[in-house]
Structure 1
Amino acid sequence: MTASDVSHEERDAMVRASLETHGDSGITPRHTLFYFYGDDEGLGELNEVARRAGYITRGDAESLVLETTMPVDAASFAPVSSMMQSWAAAFQLDYDGWECAVVTN
């Protein structure tokens, strides 16, 4: 099974499971990154939309990274994950997923 065979919801759950192995419930806000790949035009359009939505953006002609601080527990993260997938579809980009810092209390 390749990464493309696994839904974003399943990948999100795998990241959260990994956090849990380190004692992280995901409820504490933390630095979170979202990765997109595609053509310069689509990335430029996403860059504008993401900045207006409050994300810090960085990238080049082939990729864009969105940065924010947020909780990543399932209830908080599901709507954001859905939005990232919608943005990828709207701008014809590949959404490669996310990563975040481990936070334990």
Structure 2
Amino acid sequence: MNVLRRLLIAVGLGKLVAPARAEGWVGTKVANDQVRDQLLKLGDDGTAIRNVRHFFYRGSADGAASVVDVTGYLAQLELAISDTEVAEGLIAEHTSEVASASFDALTLRFVNDTLGMGWQYDGWECAVVHPAA
């Protein structure tokens, strides 16, 4: 289940928007840019602080880290952790903008660090935030 297939909720517009898919590129600037392009089409440039949810799923390989170990890793990054409703996974939340190079570096870090633990970073989602009038 790729988060780039998830729906972004267009707050205040009463409709759902499906971000573009970037198969094989989850967590990279390319994938992040595709989600940001969808946000921009709704009038959100990604610079406003908002709640961001990141998704992580345990791989099927033997030796994958336990949920407890991955929760510990994410907690060290000061992220709020909860379980996913489907499959063995975790959701990590924080407040952040989604437009900067530092956000791209964070998602790439998630890809690399969790891969080494036998987990998969499955991307992020957030609500559309319109600038104050």
User: Common fold, TM-score beyond 0.5?
Assistant: yes
Cα distance in 2 between the residues matched to 1:103 and 1:19:
8
Q: Aligned-residue CA RMSD in angstroms?
A: 2.0
Structure 1: runs of 5+ lacking an equivalent: none
- Equivalence for 1:19: 39
- 2:127 is matched with 101
Structure 1 residue runs of 4+, over 6 Å off? none
Q: Tell me, in whole angstroms, the C-alpha distance in 1 between the residues paired with 2:120 and 2:102.
A: 23
Q: 1:1-105 alignment to 2 at 5 Å? A: 5-8=23-26, 9=28, 10-38=30-58, 41-59=65-83, 62-105=88-131
Distance in 1 between the 2:23 and 2:68 partners? 28
More helix by share: 1
**Structure 2 alignment gaps of length 5 or more:** 1-20
Q: Is the 8 A contact 1:42 1:92 kept in 2?
A: no
| Paired positions, count | 103
Q: Kindly provide the amino acid, as one letter, of the partner of residue 126 in structure 2.
A: C
Look at both structures and tell me which one has the larger radius of gyration over its CA atoms.
Answer: 2
Specify the SS of the correspondent of 2:40.
helix
* Cα separation, 2, equivalents of 1:103 and 1:11: 19
**Deviations, residues 12-64 of structure 1 (Å, cap 9, x unaligned):** 11100000001111111110001111168433211001112100001167110
Q: 1:42 to 1:13 in 2, by over 3 A?
A: farther
Report the secondary structure of 1:102's partner residue.
coil
Q: Which amino acid aligns with 1:19?
A: L
Give the AA of the match of 1:103. Answer: V
* Identity across the alignment (%): 26
Q: TM-score, normalised by structure 1?
A: 0.85
Q: CA deviation at 1:11?
A: 1.8
